[in-house]
Amino acid sequence: MSNLIYSGVDVVELAKKYKTPLYVVSEDYIANRCREIREDFMEKHEKTMAVYASKAFLTKEMARIINREGLGMDVVSGGELFTAISVGFPMDKIIFHGNNKTSDEIEMAVEHNVGRIVVDNLYELDLIEETAKKHDKVVNILFRISPGVDSHTHKYIQTGQVDSKFGIPLNEKIIHKAIEEAMNCKYIDLRGFHFHIGSQLQENGSHVKAVKIMADLMKEVKDELGFVTKELNTGGGYGIHYNGKEERKPLKYFTDAIMKQLEDSCNEYGLERPLVIIEPGRWIVGEAGMTLYTIGSIKEIPGVRTYVGVDGGMPDNPRPSLYEAKYEGVIANRVGEELTKTVTIAGKCCESGDILIWDLKVPDIKPGDILAVLSTGAYNYSMASNYNRIPKPAVVMVSKGEDRLIVKRETYDDIMKNEL
């Protein structure tokens, strides 16, 4: 019997030191993914840029790491932008997304000189022009386009299909009107287009198809409107390993295919290839994280199922309930023991749907054992809630055998601090 070691750190000792539930994130893993992005995309291909999709996982320390690793950052709210500002993140490397940015958020973005704003609709275009005029600044924008590509993923994380709340539909009248309005704006510089087709994608075919569609659009608007596309943001969505046959493919599996299709199309149409931007989030941080829980109740229903209760659940990881997401887990203090039982890991919320893992094979466990749920780096901490008035877990960063606290555990007082 041995303990699980992660980035040179004994996670069972982390559970003792910081208590559970506990988010554990490997800085080493994040740095490796960022290095892969630099070597296999930014240095391999000219006129490229990579930004981290911070909605996957953002803290002040994560923003510092991303800056140190040479990537930009994609933000989707005033809160994410404020986090970047608070640590001195270079504003020219910020791309501000969101399908319904408020006037206050646009004000913040313009005031702090973000590098680009991705515009979802003409209402937003008017707000940006008005705000930029007030500050006497020219704002770089991209139009988000819905390319009409259905990605093979859960319907809640598809974003590029025709029927979507995101982006401007691929309709000639609508797009041409938007481009003409932007070209006539004194305080806006339309740089090009953005698309994002979905998340947790295992194949590159949808990206390639979307790039071909966007290249067709680039030619069309140059011929008919005289607009030259200087930038194309191809989004992210690259999948990782959660369970079973899912895998994190090398970055170049996606980016080489994207670049080849774009270069082929540009050569065919006589277009200069624009700057290409990618926005990986989950791919960088998803497998970097795990969540530690302490096992409590064990309820065996003969001939039916054995439920194993843990001291967290839906509030710290809503993805199984929201997306039917599937995870793998190990008993961290019993690594190497024979897996003799099949159990279901139940969260502590007053919800029948608060199940973290169905049918997990485990050794002969007992209350007090430590469960590590793997690949929780993305969309766990960032989507955490206080449902059932449960405080949010602490976050610990590990690297080369050392650990450091980057987010304190919430207290009951923290939950109530804004209440009157």
Residue positions annotated with a catalytic role? 350
Torsion sign (Cα): 7, 9, 15, 17: negative
- DSSP track, 314-378: TTT--HHHHH-----EEETTSBTS---EEEEEE-SSS-TT-EEEEEEEE-S--TT-EEEEES-SS
Q: Beta-carbon neighbour count of residue 150 at 10 Å?
A: 15
Who contacts 363 (Cβ-Cβ below 8 Å, separation ≥6)? 331, 334, 337, 338, 339, 340, 341
At 125 the three-state DSSP class reads helix
Q: Give the separation between CA 263 and CA 132, rounded to whole angstroms.
A: 34
- DSSP track, 30-82: HHHHHHHHIIIIITTSSSEEEEEEGGGS--HHHHHHHHHTT-EEEE-SHHHHH
Q: Could you tell me which of 219, 216, 97 has the C-alpha nearest to residue 148?
A: 216
Q: Is there a contact between 402 and 355 (Cβ–Cβ < 8 Å)?
A: no
Q: Which two tokens stand for residue 398?
A: 């590990």
**Residues paired with 2 in a beta bridge:** 335
Place of tokens 């194993």: 308
